[in-house]
Structure 1
């Protein structure tokens, strides 16, 4: 019968792809780690790693076991939390994943009010783009993920969603840009624009990329940044234009230090939601946080 200790050692090697780094992380000798993994392979009668000199790679069975091991660890954590909450009502833990943009504009207000209702809860915030957040929710390392819903169903239907709001993307330009002076986008000059976009691995970048393909205007060497604040500053300096939602630049738009213009052609909308693992029943604390996020989102979208 598999035990959690052996699974933990295996998972640490798998995540580091190194017996040496795993041993350092676990404060064990490398020989002890190697022995445990070898024992596990004998027990399962299969090879979990391909050993190539000093480097290792997961085999197919190894990848399956890592996926299952993560779910086991999540279940153990949930069991421990359930016992704590039963013995000390009001005490608990909430692990939240959110895109950097949501962390900056949506999460703070929700957490402030959540803390007032659940002062004994420990809170952990993990920033990450939507695809990464979705993966972490599915594997159980975070409880709730604030993210952009994918256009297609995730593989295996591992996630379910609590909708928050819908927004629309548009061009963000400097007030001195010709489009700003004209009050509209000139499609003929779209191909000449230097784009400043949010990071390539994000759901937003993918949506923008699809839009430009439909417009038959290829993206040419865009500047990629992981910070909306940095993107806005570059646009203010006239070093490029961007594609973002209005609410992200509300202060700048009200001051007219930046101008937002609708995308010509097909609208590009995003659906924001809180993702949870399929089949998960929300605790009272989690239900409260979802409700607070919906209230914060409603305030965010006013004139946004």
Structure 2
């Protein structure tokens, strides 16, 4: 008999169109070297096993077994094919197991977008709890501003985004996660650093360090609006795209800024946080996702986020 078989697993993928039962029947016969015992093992009639193995041989184009009245043995191609068949069945079983697990979100992947100030608030506890409950879900994190997250959600680049309110609307759904007032971040040693609270108007003549306008930062919008309501425009002396950079600039004495109250929980060397007395606008974080997303891991992430939100949703200035 002329036959060809390169012995690699890659070659076997073309046989996926076959019924996996044929491979299971062949493996049973090859291990039992007896059609009757193989049929009993597979809980089918002997003729079904014989027929399926014959179809498998026809599909492959070579014989796997030599049959006689009282004896069954593997051909040389059959001996080579047997470990490959076992491996293929093992992989198929694993693929089905993982597919079932992915259907309930216990394995898989999830892409998360976030604005940088959530690193001081909801994101770390959400990630910690999610990792503890679903360690086999691969998480990828994308630091993006609000507008970039909205576009990434619409194009399915990310599965969920943590961003400032308001809700993006359209096909995107959202839920509130946390809301808190803004506090002033003042350099240590500054004349205002000894105050327990202060009205925002007292910052009118102070240099500010803020996000660049091109970022379309919602936090920047709120800060500028709060200053405008007090009758002044912040005098920006330095810009930075990351909150931790802005705080480093405050620590260096270059200016002041406003940050969500939860940022004050993490001590920054050289920075004093002071509540603002008369701010009418708070900063709110939401979780947003595309309503057409069918990733099961997203449901599990939202469950964790809802629990964290229940703890953090409304923060008083003393918290």
TM-score (norm 1): 0.61
Distance change in 2, residues 1:264/1:217 (3 Å):
farther
**How many residues are paired up?**
217
Alignment counterpart, residue 164 of structure 1, candidates 167, 177, 181: 177
Q: What is the Cα deviation at residue 121 of structure 1?
A: 1.8
Alignment counterpart, residue 302 of structure 2, candidates 265, 285, 290: 290
Alignment counterpart, residue 246 of structure 2, candidates 231, 248, 256: 231
For structure 1, list consecutive stretches of 5 or more residues without a partner in the other structure.
1-82
Report if aligned partners of 2:179, 2:284 keep a CA contact under 8 Å in 1: yes
Deviates more, 1:85-94 or 1:120-129: 85-94
Distance 1:94 1:195 in 2: 37
Q: What is the Cα deviation at residue 205 of structure 1?
A: 0.6
Distance 1:190 1:206 in 2: 17
Report if aligned partners of 2:200, 2:279 keep a CA contact under 8 Å in 1: no
List aligned pairs for 1:1-304, cutoff 5 A. 85-86=99-100, 90-103=106-119, 105-150=121-166, 154=168, 157-185=170-198, 189-200=202-213, 201=215, 202-252=217-267, 257-278=270-291, 280=293, 283=296, 285-297=297-309, 298=311, 304=319
Distance change in 2, residues 1:92/1:214 (3 Å):
same
Q: Secondary structure at the match of 1:221?
A: strand
Q: What is the Cα deviation at residue 269 of structure 1?
A: 0.6
Distance 1:217 1:245 in 2: 20
Q: Secondary structure at the match of 2:157?
A: coil
Q: Secondary structure at the match of 1:272?
A: strand
Q: Which digits, 9 at most, give the CA deviation of each residue in 1:133-158, with x for residues without a partner?
A: 122112221111011112xx64x623
Q: Secondary structure at the match of 2:235?
A: coil
Structure whose CA Rg is larger: 2
Distance 1:236 1:287 in 2: 40
For structure 2, list consecutive stretches of 5 or more residues without a partner in the other structure.
1-96
Distance 1:275 1:264 in 2: 31
Q: What is the Cα deviation at residue 260 of structure 1?
A: 2.2
Report if aligned partners of 2:154, 2:290 keep a CA contact under 8 Å in 1: yes
Q: Secondary structure at the match of 2:183?
A: strand
Distance 1:260 1:104 in 2: 14
Q: What is the Cα deviation at residue 187 of structure 1?
A: 5.6
Distance change in 2, residues 1:214/1:234 (3 Å):
same
Distance change in 2, residues 1:222/1:287 (3 Å):
farther
Deviates more, 1:263-272 or 1:199-208: 263-272
Distance 1:273 1:129 in 2: 13
Distance change in 2, residues 1:177/1:280 (3 Å):
same
Alpha-carbon RMSD across the aligned residues, in angstroms, is 3.1
Q: What is the Cα deviation at residue 174 of structure 1?
A: 2.3
Q: What is the Cα deviation at residue 287 of structure 1?
A: 2.6
Which residue is equivalent to 2:3?
none
Q: What is the Cα deviation at residue 84 of structure 1?
A: 6.8
Report if aligned partners of 2:240, 2:246 keep a CA contact under 8 Å in 1: yes
TM-score (norm 2): 0.59
Distance 1:86 1:294 in 2: 25
